[in-house]
Amino acid sequence: MVREVDVFNYLPPVFHEIKEMIEIAKVEDPLLEQLWQEIENALLDMFLLSATGRGIKRYEDMLHIDSMATESLETRRFRLITRFNEQVPYTRPVLRNLLNTLLGENGYELTISTTDKTLKVKIELTVKGMFEAVEQMLERITPQNMLLTVELRYNQHIKLANYTHAQLSAYTHEQLRNEVLT
């Protein structure tokens, strides 16, 4: 929310007739508005959930996270949130709480087998863009003696049953299986 600046209103009435003072006020207005915007951005960048692109970049630099130019700001923010939410060592309740926070309670399936030493997570299709961030986070916090498998949970027949054959024929088999349908 940029603050509107009008330097002319702050000038004493005696200066309202002087052309130079009017022009100086006109030149200063955009500069002061830009300054207010920079101050506001600095305040927004102090918190991860409201950070601008420059603030997200600063957090990534602090945590040594490389991002691609094609990634959205929300994907980069999600990756940072996953890094800040990591707790080592973790317990099953902490892991479930972490996954609930990041993906939602119905956004994943978690299977842990202590006898086989496996941990399997199937991520809901709606978070496909954040798959890599979740996978990297799980690789960092899971014990090294467990086999970690992270997969996407694909579209199932019950979800596709709501569409007609004509609507589905516009998609390939791979799109029907892997993409979020609108």
pLDDT tens per residue, range 92-135: 888 898 888 888 888 888 999 989 999 999 887 665 567 888 88
Structural domains in the chain (count): 2
| Model pLDDT for residues 9-22, shown as the tens digit of each residue | 888 888 888 999 88
Q: What is the pTM (predicted TM-score) of this model?
A: 0.52
**Assigned domain for 160 exists:** yes
Please indicate, yes or no, whether residues 173 and 110 belong to a single structural domain of this protein. yes
Cα-based distances in Å from 117 to 92, 105, 114, 142? 14, 24, 5, 11
**Assigned domain for 17 exists:** yes
What pLDDT is stored for residue 51 in this prediction?
95
**Assigned domain for 108 exists:** yes
**Assigned domain for 72 exists:** no
> What residue type is assigned to position 100 of the chain?
N
Answer yes or no: is pLDDT of 45 > 80.
Answer: yes
Highest averaged pLDDT of the listed ranges 28-32, 106-110, 154-158 = 28-32
Answer yes or no: is pLDDT of 182 > 60.
Answer: no
Strand order in the sheet with 118-124: 108-113, 118-124, 147-153
Q: Of 149 and 124, which is predicted with more confidence?
A: 149
Answer yes or no: is pLDDT of 160 > 80.
Answer: no
Q: Could you tell me the two tokens for 163?
A: 């569409």
Pairing of strands 118-124, 108-113: antiparallel
What pLDDT is stored for residue 144 in this prediction?
84
Please indicate, yes or no, whether residues 39 and 103 belong to a single structural domain of this protein. no
Answer yes or no: is pLDDT of 79 > 80.
Answer: yes
**Assigned domain for 171 exists:** yes
**Assigned domain for 133 exists:** yes
What pLDDT is stored for residue 151 in this prediction?
85
What pLDDT is stored for residue 92 in this prediction?
87
- Between CA 31 and CA 85 the distance in angstroms is 39
What pLDDT is stored for residue 168 in this prediction?
74
Domain extent at residue 27 = 7-44
**Assigned domain for 110 exists:** yes
Please indicate, yes or no, whether residues 104 and 40 belong to a single structural domain of this protein. no
- Between CA 113 and CA 96 the distance in angstroms is 15
- Please give the backbone phi and psi of residue 152, each rounded to the nearest 5 degrees, phi first: -90, 140
CATH value at residue 169: 3.30.1340
Peptide bond into 30 cis (omega under 30): no
Q: What is the mean pLDDT of residues 144-161?
A: 77
**Assigned domain for 30 exists:** yes
By mean pLDDT, which of 4-13, 76-85, 131-140, 167-176 is the weakest? 167-176
